[in-house]
Amino acid sequence: MREQSAETDRPVEQEFLSVIREYERVIYKVCYLYANPNAPLNDLYQDVVLNLWKAYPKFRKECKISTWIYRIALNTCISFYRKEKNIPEIVSLTKEIDWSIEAHDPVNEMLKQLYRMINQLGQLDKSIILLYLEEKSYEEIAEITGLTVTNVATKLSRIKDKLKKMKKED
């Protein structure tokens, strides 16, 4: 009886692994924005994949798979961040050395600066700008975050203004 159950689960496992492979970059991008010394990138990624696996049988295909993945990834990272928030930050002594290794690439420097500024935003703003940078429509962002389309547009405008202000101050 047990063997039969394992055989019937294989197609689901294969389907799930295929979805994870297809959206691996998306999951890493979300995790990258929330990663810090107390919440390493690989830990976040592993938590997201685990939560996706737990939720996969309940996925009803009422929305796009990418929308569903973003929603779970963002919720997992935000929850992880909230749990780890009270742990003191560990500062690496080699942090400056790591940043200087790739300092010669201006595009890399601009991306690092953008991510540093985005990391200073609140959780919801960080999620919205990430989805915007992933070229999600306002409707998709609204569906993922649970906001209205109008609210998404307003928040995006304010987020862009904040980032411009941060850039000027930097």
- CA quadruple 135, 126, 48, 92: dihedral sign: positive
The CATH number given to whatever domain includes residue 53 is 1.10.1740.10
Contact predicate 31/73, CB 8 Å: yes
Contact predicate 31/45, CB 8 Å: yes
**Residues 87, 163 within the same domain:** no
**Residues 136, 149 within the same domain:** yes
User: pTM for this one?
Assistant: 0.64
Contact predicate 90/96, CB 8 Å: no
Q: Which residues of 120-158 are buried (b: 16+ CB within 10 A; e: fewer)?
A: ebeeebbbbbbbbeeebebebbbbbbebeeeebeebbee
Per residue of the chain (170 residues), give pLDDT as tens: 444 444 456 888 999 999 999 999 999 988 888 887 777 888 999 999 999 999 999 888 888 899 999 999 999 988 887 776 554 444 443 444 444 445 567 777 887 888 888 888 888 899 899 899 888 999 999 998 889 999 999 999 999 999 999 888 87
Residue 148: predicted pLDDT: 94
**Residues 46, 15 within the same domain:** yes
**Residues 160, 105 within the same domain:** yes
Contact predicate 27/45, CB 8 Å: yes
**Residues 9, 75 within the same domain:** yes
Choose the final residue of a domain: 93, 121, 152: 93
Q: Which domain holds residue 6?
A: 1-93
**Residues 62, 88 within the same domain:** yes
**Residues 87, 26 within the same domain:** yes
Contact predicate 68/59, CB 8 Å: yes
Number of folded domains in the chain?
2
